[in-house]
Structure 1
Amino acid sequence: MNKGDLATAVAEKTGMSKSAANQAVETVFECITDTLKKGEEVRILGFGNFVVSERAASTGRNPQTGEPMEIKASKQAKFKPGKGLKDAVNG
């Protein structure tokens, strides 16, 4: 399922127009992104948590030449599924 499919499913389940559902989906993703940019968590009870984790700088190897190279420190978004989602997937 892609973002367009998600918007279509939301429209069908809620009776919203497809354009309104698409805007709602876009707004949810935008809010999650903005919150993570601030370094804060997004907790959705029964679904899961979106968190930002920090990855330290490290030394890696260039796969083509085998020479060492520096990998910069970075932040990455992670999703930790909640119990409700785990139970739904495994049930």
Structure 2
Amino acid sequence: MTREPKRRDADSGLSKADAKRALDAFVTVTANALVIGDTVTLGEFGTFSISKRSARTGRNPQTGKEIKIAGKNEVKFKAGAELSKSVN
């Protein structure tokens, strides 16, 4: 038995403007928490965290010349069990 996906435009009870404000607030709060080194867990949805990537040497594909690539912080997301379950 195949499960029908929910419509993307299902009514959440929010106007587009309210949904945008809510998403903007979530992104701001999450980014601020990650900058200070916290992880952000949203119940069954998943967890956002920071992973440090070391500096490394790369190669320019056009010239073959070695280049230095600076280290950086990357945002990682690990889906929660419920989210993973709902898409499989």
Q: Give the TM-score normalised by the residue count of structure 1.
A: 0.78
Distance (Å, rounded) in 2 between the aligned partners of 1:20 and 1:45: 22
1:63 aligned residue: 61
CA apart distance, 1:20: 2.3
Structure 1: runs of 5+ lacking an equivalent: 1-8
SS in 1 for 2:48: strand
Code of the residue aligned with 2:60 in structure 1: it is N
- Greater helix share, 1 or 2? 1
Query: After superposition, what is the alpha-carbon deviation per residue over 1:27-82, rounded to whole angstroms, capped at 9, x for unaligned?
Result: 11111111111121101111110010000011111111101111111101111111
- 1:43 matched to 2:41? The reply is yes
Report the residue type matching 2:47 in the other structure: N
Structure 2: segments with no counterpart, 5+ residues: 1-8
The Cα shift of 1:19 comes to 2.2
**Structure 1 consecutive aligned stretches of length 4 or more whose deviation exceeds 6 Å:** none
Q: Which residue of 1 aligns with 2:50?
A: 52
Identity %: 36
Using structure 2 for the length normalisation, give the TM-score.
0.80
Aligned length in residues? 81
- Residue 29 of structure 2 corresponds to 31
